[in-house]
Amino acid sequence: MTYRFKALIVGAGILVGGAASAAECIAPANPGGGWDFTCRQIGKIMYDIGAVDQPVQVTNMAGGGGGLAFQSVVNERGDDADLIIAASQATATRLAQDAYGGATADQVRFVGAIGADPGVIVVGADSEFADLGAMLDAMKADPGSVAFAGGSAAGGFDHLKVLQLAQEAGVEDVRQIKYIGVDGGADAITQTVGGFTQGMTGDMSEVVGFIESGDVRVLAVLTEERVPGFEDIPTAKEQGYDVVAVNWRGLYVPKDISDARFQEWADKLQAVADSAEWQEAMEANGLAPFTVVGDDFQAFIDQNIADVQALSREIGIIE
């Protein structure tokens, strides 16, 4: 099964000039994961290129796979014009599966996405699995023999990556596969490096440092083609498993801010997307180009959620 997202390029004007007060970016996970990366990189570049006049404060708010931050914004900070929140495909997946306790996408405003984080399947450096085929063969023989950790809750996007691969490999009952959902990719890597799970399912940006340190090996990247800068990592497709899963990286804001302020944030995000600094950050962290900013992004989110719901029903995650 193939899970694809097409990159849309949406033009927008660039507004330079910061808010009157310092902006804050909430990363809905612990330091070191993909949402933390989104806040810190986008916030830093906004300041470096002059899109904001003060450094962006980053607040880590782990809990509920992003649900704590989402509910906090909706219930307590619905009109905070200086607040941005890191979002990703995992956010849309959880909303699609009603994993945030009845919360819905229209309770916030999605600003845009400016990069796609390729999905990866990772093992510890001393793992018995030499390649993706060996791991999936073990799962086909005994689905419960390989446990995974991921930065999303059970049934979330990281979990879906494993289930899609298992289906492709012919695992008869994918529900037997063991999965541990933790708060962010850094915690998932810790589970795997520590030997508590045999594999980690996540995104490239979450594992770059661990690749460089030699703590992990990446068995597959879930993209159409190998990722620039990481050409030694094979795709799942070239290993015979037709699965593509990329995690867009972007922002949402509180629903009740003004249209003018929403457009300012969209323009600032577009300015980051157009910057040389962001191009360098994408290359250094294995991100692929993916730019959808402003009102067009809400239409993308609506369709995305409908697609995820259909896939989740097919796999049996939701009814």
Residues 57, 84: contact at Cβ < 8 Å? no
Q: What angle do CA 280, 282, 286 make, to 5 degrees?
A: 125
Count other C-beta atoms under 10 Å from residue 195's C-beta. 10
pLDDT score of 20: 53
Residue 11 lies in a domain: no
Last residue of a domain, one of 239, 265, 296: 239
Residue 5 lies in a domain: no
Same domain, 276 and 300: yes
Residue 311 lies in a domain: yes
The CATH number of whichever domain residue 57 belongs to comes to 3.40.190.150
3-state percent helix, strand, coil for the chain, nearest multiple of 5: 45, 20, 35
Same domain, 261 and 112: yes
Residue 123 lies in a domain: yes
Residue 4 lies in a domain: no
Separation CA 307–CA 294 (nearest Å): 21
pLDDT score of 312: 85
Angle between helices 204-213 and 34-48 (to 10 degrees): 100
Q: Residues 193-249: pLDDT tens digits?
A: 999 999 999 999 889 999 999 999 999 999 988 988 899 999 999 999 999 898 899
**Domain span at residue 89?**
24-117+247-315
Same domain, 72 and 144: no
Residue 259 lies in a domain: yes
Same domain, 108 and 124: no
Same domain, 255 and 181: no
Last residue of a domain, one of 239, 261, 282: 239
Q: 229: buried, middle or exposed (CB in 10 Å: 19+, 13-18, 0-12)?
A: middle
pLDDT score of 13: 30
Count up the domains in the chain and report the number: 2
pLDDT score of 183: 83
Residue 12 lies in a domain: no
| pLDDT by position in tens, the chain (length 319) | 333 333 322 223 333 344 357 999 999 999 988 899 999 999 999 999 999 999 999 999 999 889 999 999 999 999 999 999 999 998 999 999 999 999 999 999 999 999 998 999 999 999 999 999 999 999 999 999 999 999 888 888 899 999 999 999 999 888 899 999 998 888 999 999 999 999 999 999 889 999 999 999 999 999 988 988 899 999 999 999 999 898 899 999 999 999 999 999 999 999 999 999 999 999 888 888 889 999 889 899 998 899 889 878 877 888 8
Q: What are phi and psi of 277, to 5 degrees?
A: -60, -40
Same domain, 113 and 251: yes
Last residue of a domain, one of 207, 239, 271: 239
Residue 111 lies in a domain: yes
